[in-house]
Amino acid sequence: MNMTRSEEPVEPNILVVDDDPYLLMAIGQTLTLSGYQVDTFTSPLEALEKQKKTTYAAIITDIKMPAMDGLQFLAHVRAQDLELPVIMITGHGDVALAVTAIKSGAYDFLQKPVDEDVLNACLVRAVEKRRLVLDNRRLSVSLAEQRQDLTRFYGLIGNHPAMHRLYDIIKAVAAENDPVMIHGETGTGKELVARAIHQIGSRAAQPFVALNMGAMPTEMIESELFGHAKGAFTGALQRKVGKFEYAGEGTLFLDEICSLPIALQGKLLRALEARVVSPLGSNTEVPFKARIIAATNKDLDKEIEKEAFRQDLFFRLNVLPVHIQPLRERRQDIPLLVEFFRQEYAYGKMIAPAPFRPETLHEIMNNPWPGNVRELRNHVRRLCILGGLEEHRDGGKSDDAPRSEDKCLPLKEFIDRTEKDYIIGVLRETEGQAAVAHIRLGISRKSFYDKIGKYRIDLSEFRKTEKGRPNKIG
């Protein structure tokens, strides 16, 4: 496996540059005896060429050299590696120049004659700094590689940068106990996010209790939330434990919080502030310890303007806001979701999954999906169940029937093939114009050309001449 310079193991390699061969030899011997591997050069240009090919822990250079002074040499080094420590050696009259070098990014400077102990102490610090820098680089690369493979996260599916940001936010929020407000359109997976926060946090072993405000009759919401005493109303034959109390030290998820009647919002606010609830028909307050996560599919700022939602309650619930992007803003996740839902259906039926045709996926990719992931899942299941019966009533072969070469494809190969077909479809629509196509695809121009190269797509095949013939220039 090829390694980049930032991935190479850190070795105590030191580069020394000085036009004085005697001083160069003396420093080289001192460092070798101290356990370093040393490369010495009298030419700064040759030293720079060597630096391009080798990972160094530090560089020691004279500040006054005839071919290239130390400041120029420092600038070239930093252009190649901004964080490589460079120690300058200076004469008594060059201290002001050395200070300028420090301001330009040099790690330190030493005065001639160079004291061996001072040199070694300075180098130890520089090497340790370099080790930390390279360790951080390797960690960043490792995390980036892990993220490339991170497509599933506690029930959430997606590899779009917005999803990775969401995963990071979930992990950060899960470590706290403050109320959370999840904002997202219908079908984006707000309950999955709430469950992920619960499962990652310290309350995972405790109950997760979900209550959908929009699915309950108004007259039942108060009793469901806070409970009621025996005899509180007709039919209340025994005491009922409300969801606040039932959740114990776990998590209480209040979905569609905007559907909570305005008359009960004040009672909910008091409960959150006092950490106690008053069951209906009871004079006894019951403390609760559950963490509160709420969710809304509406713009609460507009609801507050309409006086349909209390602003003070919003502030109390929106301590840690979490936003979920709609599916139309992360279309590159659609093939991944389609494949997951297709295999989910096939697994449930204990049948071999049959991939959809590229034409079908192309249509799916172009759908705005106002119902988001939930709507997409239902559509995939419908295609799995009905297939040709729904789209080919004339008795012809279904477009979703798998071609023999498509059967049992690995997921990555299926996604690559589907992505290529989708890009080709966009190129046909845009007549091969890269400036338009990459925007339509929602990717950068560089990523666009990377994919064109990856799939060996010839843009000239899609470009038209004024007479409508294919343009074969190049």
pLDDT digits (tens, 9 = 90+) for 121-133: 999 999 998 888 8
Domains of the chain: 5-143 (3.40.50.2300), 159-325 (3.40.50.300), 328-408 (1.10.8.60), 410-474 (no CATH)
Dist CA 182 CA 169 (whole Å)? 11
| pLDDT value, residue 392 | 38
Mean of the per-residue pLDDT values of the chain: 83
Q: Within the chain, what is the greatest distance between any pair of CA atoms? A: 103
Please name the residues in contact with 368: beta carbons below 8 A apart, sequence gap of 6 or more: 328
- pTM for the full model? 0.55
| pLDDT value, residue 197 | 96
What confidence category does residue 137 fall into, taking pLDDT thresholds of 50, 70 and 90? confident
Compute how many other C-beta atoms are within 10 angstroms of the C-beta atom of residue 62.
Answer: 24
Once rounded to an integer, what is the mean pLDDT over residues 78-96?
A: 84
**Long-range contacts made by residues 26-33, C-beta under 8 angstroms, separation at least 24?**
27/60, 27/114, 27/119, 30/116, 30/119, 30/120, 31/119, 31/123
Once rounded to an integer, what is the mean pLDDT over residues 71-94?
A: 86
Sign of CA dihedral 73, 77, 78, 80: positive
Dist CA 421 CA 419 (whole Å)? 5
Give the model confidence (pLDDT) of 248-300 as tens digits. Answer: 999 999 999 999 999 899 999 999 999 999 998 888 899 999 999 999 999 99
Residue count of the chain, please give it.
474
| pLDDT value, residue 386 | 77
Give the model confidence (pLDDT) of 396-455 as tens digits. Answer: 333 444 444 444 556 677 777 778 888 888 888 788 888 778 777 778 888 888 888 888
Q: What six digits make up the tokens of 161?
A: 């940068």
| pLDDT value, residue 10 | 44
β-partners of residue 228 are 240, 280
End-to-end Cα, the chain, rounded Å: 35
| pLDDT value, residue 61 | 93
Percent of the chain exceeding pLDDT 90 equals: 44
Percent of the chain exceeding pLDDT 70 equals: 86
CB-CB contact of 252 with 291 (8 Å): yes
